[in-house]
Structure 1
Amino acid sequence: MARKGDGFVRWTIVLGLICAVMSQQSTVSQKLYEGSQKFALNFFKKISEFVDSDPSVTTTNIIISPLSVWTLLALLTEGADGKTLRELLDVLNVDNQNDIKYNFKNLIDTINVNTSEVEISSLQLIFTDITQQRQQAFDDSIVQFYGQDLLRSLDFNSSPPARKSSYQTINGIVSNATKGQIEKAIHPSDLKDAKMLILSVLFFKGDWTLPFNRSQTVDTPFLNENDVTVGPVPMMYSKAVFPFAAFRELEAQIVELPYGSDRYLSMMVILPRKGVPLKDVIGRLANFSMQTIYQELRTAAEEYEDDEVEVYLPRFEITADYKLKAPLFDMGVKAAMSKETAQFDRMANGIFLGDIVQKARIVVNEEGTTASASTAAIFANKATPPRFFANRPFAFLIVDKRFDVILFMGQVKNPLAV
């Protein structure tokens, strides 16, 4: 059992013999991607439930990066033991910690992309207060398996000026990593009494493969789930060949809007059937196979490769700041969050997880996006193109189809609320 103290961890915003080993690593990496996908769908459901039920929440629009949270929890497993480790692995959907240790860096490196059309960049850092000693074996393992530049030491608590300087340093790193999209990832109070801060940042910017024509954007009424108009919103319009399908089990339509010329990154926009609450669709999505969605959209694109779809999508922007302790506790991360039960002695003595905070931002416009059981496809004929008219609450996923990884996800209930 770990020694207990008053310190805590905070986070703001992962020739035949050679072939066999590479194949084995590829299989394990794919299992990690699948684990992150399952985590993402469950996490989205929990966040949606908490946001919709919390009276203190000022907007029910959501933007989260489940991959960023998954990579942070994955890093924590390197320093966890006992029940704390078992709970983390269960929530991450990973069989054993070595799968993370030996594949984490490759997983992160393969996701990162930087072209003129699409950029994905991720950053993981572990900041420790200068008074808190880390275990040498932990440091050695982090450097060897996760990256040489992850470990940093800062002065969190010796004086208010020192705390302010550390706060500014951390926020400067996040601002640079997100191209200025997130300038204040943490507050000075987040460092008060903290012993360690683990940071995970994910940045995405993508140009649509088929941009919306700005001249065709017009103000259009947007309805809430009670069919009451929340106001006119700038509704973008495009008529082009998009993968599009209706999913009976979800009671929703999905259209895929690809990014860049390679088209392996996409936004999946999920529109519930009229009269179906968005939370019901998100709940079903948590038990649905993303592979089924990808396959149905691929089949639809192949069978109706010349059919155009009329897509109406509001321009929107969301900035959100979430404390994730409650939803993650609900998902099973429990022992880590109590100083009586946390076992992080492989990382440092006497620490526990005080809170996990995520700040995220997404901007969707005509040019693209900046973020910080089998069913039949239903199409009309070419004379009357099918319409995807997102004039009521919808959900969205930004996915990397190379690895079936969900980078960002969210819901829009009022496009006018940022």
Structure 2
Amino acid sequence: MAGISFGASGVTRRQINRAFKLSTEKEKFNEQYKKLTNTLFPVNTSEVKAWNENYIFVNKDVVLYRSFLEILMDNYNTIFTAMDFQDQPDAAHQASQIIKSNFPNSRNVFSSEDFQDSSFIMSNVLWFEGYWSSIFDVSQTKLELVNSFHGRTGIVNMMQMKAKVRSSHMELMKATVTELPYGNDGKYCMLLLFPDPGDSVEDVYSNFNRVTLRDIFAKLQSDEEQFGLKKVEVKLPRFSKISKLQLRTPLNRMGILDAFERKYAQFNKMSEDPYYIESIEHNVVVRVAEMGTIAYATTPGVNRAYSNIIENKVMPPFTFFIIEKPTATVIFGGIF
């Protein structure tokens, strides 16, 4: 949405900028965006891998302004490809192969339906793979009966270990927060928030109105300095989760309305032809196991290589964030 905002004008652009709090100073914003993404990606070590790529696939008959494409390619690490959308199976295969060349573990990201009645598709692919700094012992993983906050009962494979990790109770969050680092350099971690008894994950999440991630890390650091880093018992379900979200309604609620309406959308800095956003689809796969985490996201499309994943039906209530710590940037997150 940050990239597409530069193709918008009038009310459409104002709604996008206001919803995402985007700077109206184009050059400054692009500079800050590049600085952030250069900090976050790419990472390719033996313990952590993280990549982020943007793509724009355009029907061969569509003409987009060169100035708009240059913004995307120069500032948003966007790969541009023109193709024949009328041959939908071939277009889907070609787009998937282009993504596969950058993300070898992906395949069949797109289907023929994605190219039906479309003029162009803007896509983002995000990949994270990290090994825990302290790996869970598989032999200690046990089946455990758990209750969801809403009263459902089920069995999970509960991973457990005793390790020196940062863990604190935060009264303001109504939760216990635990930091599980990836690799050995302290750059990435998973932050876990377990609600206090009687409180829901919704209660915990609502407290982010007054507590920031930096506040949480400051609390963890303060407790470590005051009490030292002690061994704590860590319990975390081994789980897989697939999420497919249609974002039009949430974005409408944030105030982005005109961009989705053929009659009102203003994208005249993108092309002389009228365009509007038909849909924004976000798909995520997260797998957490004894060795570490794999998380994969595409907008739009879905990695059908993971279509056979069996999801956990019942989970104990908790919230997780995969975070780049120096900038306190959330890469992935989820709520159970």
Common fold: TM-score over 0.5: yes
Equivalent residues in 2 for 1:35-50 (5 A)? none
Q: Does 1:121 align with 2:51?
A: yes
Give the superposition deviation at 1:269: 0.8
Q: Does 1:142 align with 2:60?
A: no
Work out the CA distance in 2 between the residues paired with 1:350 and 1:117. 47
Work out the CA distance in 2 between the residues paired with 1:293 and 1:368. 22
Once the two structures are superposed, residues 139-165 of structure 1 have per-residue CA deviations (whole angstroms, 9 ceiling, x without a partner) of: 333344334x522111112xxxx1111
Aligned to 2:97: 172
Q: Does 1:369 align with 2:284?
A: no
Change (3 A) 1:106 1:228: closer
Q: Of 237, 252, 261, which residue of structure 2 is paired with 1:314?
A: 237
Aligned to 1:104: 33
Is contact 2:166–2:229 with CA below 8 Å preserved after alignment?
Answer: no
Is contact 1:177–1:203 with CA below 8 Å preserved after alignment?
Answer: no
Can you give the 5+ residue segments of structure 2 that lack an aligned partner in the other structure?
297-313
3-state DSSP of counterpart to 1:352: coil
What letter is aligned with 1:118?
A: V
Change (3 A) 1:176 1:320: farther
Change (3 A) 1:287 1:352: farther
Is contact 1:241–1:305 with CA below 8 Å preserved after alignment?
Answer: no
Q: Of 6, 9, 21, which residue of structure 2 is paired with 1:81?
A: 9
Equivalent residues in 2 for 1:163-242 (5 A)? 163-180=88-105, 182-230=106-154, 232-242=155-165
Equivalent residues in 2 for 1:18-57 (5 A)? none
Give the superposition deviation at 1:178: 4.3
What letter is aligned with 2:240?
A: E
3-state DSSP of counterpart to 2:277: strand
Work out the CA distance in 1 between the residues paired with 2:145 and 2:91. 46
Give the superposition deviation at 1:217: 0.7
Q: Which moved more, 1:109-118 or 1:136-145?
A: 136-145
Work out the CA distance in 1 between the residues paired with 2:44 and 2:207. 34
Q: Of 77, 80, 84, which residue of structure 2 is paired with 1:151?
A: 80
Once the two structures are superposed, residues 277-327 of structure 1 have per-residue CA deviations (whole angstroms, 9 ceiling, x without a partner) of: 222222222553121111111112222323211011110011222111111
- CA RMSD after TM alignment: 1.9
Is contact 2:54–2:76 with CA below 8 Å preserved after alignment?
Answer: no
Q: Does 1:331 align with 2:254?
A: yes
Is contact 1:122–1:201 with CA below 8 Å preserved after alignment?
Answer: yes
Aligned to 1:45: none
Give the superposition deviation at 1:184: 4.1
3-state DSSP of counterpart to 1:355: coil
Q: What percent of counterpart residues are identical?
A: 27
Work out the CA distance in 2 between the residues paired with 1:317 and 1:177. 24
Change (3 A) 1:85 1:208: same
Is contact 1:78–1:97 with CA below 8 Å preserved after alignment?
Answer: no
Is contact 2:2–2:22 with CA below 8 Å preserved after alignment?
Answer: no
What letter is aligned with 2:110?
A: I
Give the superposition deviation at 1:227: 4.0
Change (3 A) 1:145 1:338: same
What letter is aligned with 2:93?
A: Q
3-state DSSP of counterpart to 1:106: helix
Aligned to 1:54: none
**Higher relative contact order, chain-length normalized (CA < 8 Å, sep 6+):** 1
Q: Of 349, 353, 356, which residue of structure 1 is paired with 2:277?
A: 353
Can you give the 5+ residue segments of structure 1 that lack an aligned partner in the other structure?
1-72, 373-389, 413-418
Change (3 A) 1:84 1:300: same
What letter is aligned with 1:155?
A: D
Q: Which moved more, 1:183-192 or 1:111-120?
A: 183-192
Work out the CA distance in 2 between the residues paired with 1:224 and 1:301. 31
Once the two structures are superposed, residues 45-65 of structure 1 have per-residue CA deviations (whole angstroms, 9 ceiling, x without a partner) of: xxxxxxxxxxxxxxxxxxxxx
- Normalised to the residue count of structure 1, the TM-score between the two structures is 0.72
3-state DSSP of counterpart to 1:89: helix
Aligned to 1:43: none
